[in-house]
Amino acid sequence: MAETTTFGNATQILEPFRGVKRVTIEEYFTSGHRTCQGCESALVMKLMVKASGPRTIVLGSTGCMYVANTTYYTTPWVVPWMHTQLGSSGSAALGTAAGLKALMRKGKMKSEPINVIAFCGDGGGADMGLGAISATLTHKEYNSLILLYDNESYANTDIQLSGMTPYGANTTFSPPGKVKRLIHTRWKKNMAGLMAAGHPECRYVATVCASYAVEMMNKVRRALTIGGPTFIHSLDPCPKGWDYDPMLSHELGELAIETGIFPLYEVEDGQVKYYGKTKAIVEGRARKPVREYLLKQGRFAHFVEEDLEYFQAKVDEMWEKWEIPAVVPFRRLDATKAALSAK
Ligand X SMILES: Cc1ncc(C[n+]2csc(CCOP(=O)(O)OP(=O)(O)O)c2C)c(N)n1
Outline where 265-304 has alpha helix (H).
Answer: 276-282, 291-294
Going by their DSSP bridges, the two strands 229-235 and 204-208 should be labelled as parallel
One residue of 62, 84, 144, 151 binding Mg ion per CB under 5 A: 151
Q: What 3-state class would DSSP assign to 329? A: strand
Outline where the chain has alpha helix (H).
Answer: 40-52, 64-67, 89-105, 122, 130-136, 191-198, 213-226, 239-242, 249-258, 276-282, 291-294, 305-320, 333-342
**217 and 17 Cβ atoms separated by less than 8 Å:** yes
Using the rule CB under 5 A, is 62 a contact of Mg ion? no
One residue of 28, 77, 97, 122 binding ligand X per CB under 6 A: 122
By C-beta, is 49 or 155 nearer to ligand SF4? 155
By C-beta, is 14 or 148 nearer to ligand SF4? 148
Using the rule CB under 6 A, is 231 a contact of ligand X? no
How far apart are CB 244 and ligand SF4 at their closest, in Å? 10
Other C-beta atoms closer than 10 Å to the C-beta of 292 total 12
How far apart are CB 35 and ligand SF4 at their closest, in Å? 4
Residue 239 interacting partner from Mg ion, ligand SF4, ligand X, none (CB closer than 5 to 8 Å by kind):
ligand SF4
By C-beta, is 122 or 266 nearer to ligand SF4? 122
What residues numbered 311-340 form the site for ligand X, per CB under 6 A? none
Ordered DSSP codes for 222-261: HHHHH-SEEEEEEE---HHHHTS-GGGHHHHHHHHHHTTS
DSSP bridge partners of 208: 234
By C-beta, is 149 or 231 nearer to ligand SF4? 149
One residue of 124, 237, 276, 325 binding ligand X per CB under 6 A: 124
Radius of gyration of the chain (CA): 20
By C-beta, is 47 or 114 nearer to ligand X? 47
What's the CA gap between 249 and 162, in Å, rounded? 20
What residues numbered 134-173 form the site for ligand X, per CB under 6 A? 151, 153-157, 162
By C-beta, is 61 or 278 nearer to ligand X? 61
Size of the site for ligand X (CB under 6 A): 16
Using the rule CB under 6 A, is 155 a contact of ligand SF4? yes
Residue 124 interacting partner from Mg ion, ligand X, ligand SF4, none (CB closer than 5 to 8 Å by kind):
ligand X
Using the rule CB under 6 A, is 169 a contact of ligand SF4? no
Using the rule CB under 6 A, is 240 a contact of ligand SF4? yes
One residue of 6, 11, 41, 297 binding ligand SF4 per CB under 6 A: 41
Q: Which residues contact 102 (CB under 8 A, 6 or more apart)?
A: none
By C-beta, is 122 or 266 nearer to Mg ion? 122
Ordered DSSP codes for 39-54: -HHHHHHHHHHHHH-S
Using the rule CB under 6 A, is 39 a contact of ligand SF4? yes
What's the CA gap between 251 and 249, in Å, rounded? 6
**296 and 250 Cβ atoms separated by less than 8 Å:** no
Distances in whole angstroms, Cα of residue 132 to Cα of each of 56, 93, 126, 340 = 21, 10, 10, 41
Using the rule CB under 5 A, is 155 a contact of Mg ion? yes
By C-beta, is 92 or 104 nearer to ligand X? 92
Stretch touching ligand SF4 by CB under 6 A, among 88-96, 136-144, 182-190, 234-242: 234-242
- Footprint on this chain of ligand X (rule: CB under 6 A): 62-65, 86, 121-124, 151, 153-157, 162
Q: What residues make contact with ligand SF4 under the rule CB under 6 A? A: 35-36, 39, 41, 64, 68, 151, 155, 238-241
